[in-house]
A = this chain, B = another copy of it.
Amino acid sequence: MPVEPLSRPRIVAAAIDLIEREGADAISMRRIAADLGVGVMSLYNHVPNKATLLDAVAETVLSGIEFTDDPDADWTDRVRMQARAFRQIAHHYPRCTMVVVSRQLQSPAGMLPVERALATLRSVGFDGEEAVRILRMFIAYIVGSLLREVGVTPTFAPVHHSQVDIEKVDPVLFPETRSLAVELGACDHEAEFEFGMELLIQAIAGRLAGRGR
């Protein structure tokens, strides 16, 4: 029935499509098969199981990141670019973000960003231990930022999409939360991301400068 033959890439693409259309919860082998116009069991000729398929989804999304590294640029600009490239995931595949972030990949697609980041950090003079530490800090920040952007993170960015919610916050128990309702209600994800990123870059730049002493 399918005009093109079934293949792993086609299955992964259908899975990504389905997640973006109906959310990560909606995904199932049966739904994907239905979308492709084949029987469920046909999928198992190309993918061993659902977990592996989700890994492939994560890998595919991750490998779609456009890393445009300019080795001649200032190192802070290079770090900026790499961090922003990651944030693209949340833009291009918002509902796949959780899948990407919650899967442990050891494939090249997952490791290339690591390699690049380490190379950049080492080239400015950080030793191995520092480079790894700094990379991990950036990753933690980026992952946390993506989850907020994608609307998955909790509580801590409350009071959204409706002023009614604000009214329900008890002003005597939560005076600050209440008085900052406007600020908490709005969130310019790009500005927020940039703010934290600049603070981090500034902090590690300071660390680098303090090195010479």
Contact = CB atoms under 8 A, between A and B. Distances in A.
Identify which of A111, A112, A142 gathers the most chain B CB atoms within 10 Å of its CB: A111
Contact of A115 (B101, B133, B136, B176): B176
Interface band, chain A: 35 or more
Interface string A171-198: 0011111011001100100001001100
A177 to B, nearest CB: 5
A199 interface: yes
Classify the interface of chain A: helix, strand, loop or mixed. Answer: helix
A32 interface: no
Interface of A: 58, 62, 98, 100-108, 110-115, 118-119, 122, 128-129, 131-133, 135-137, 139-145, 147-148, 151-159, 165, 168-169, 173-177, 179-180, 183-184, 187, 192, 195-196, 199-200, 202-204, 206-207
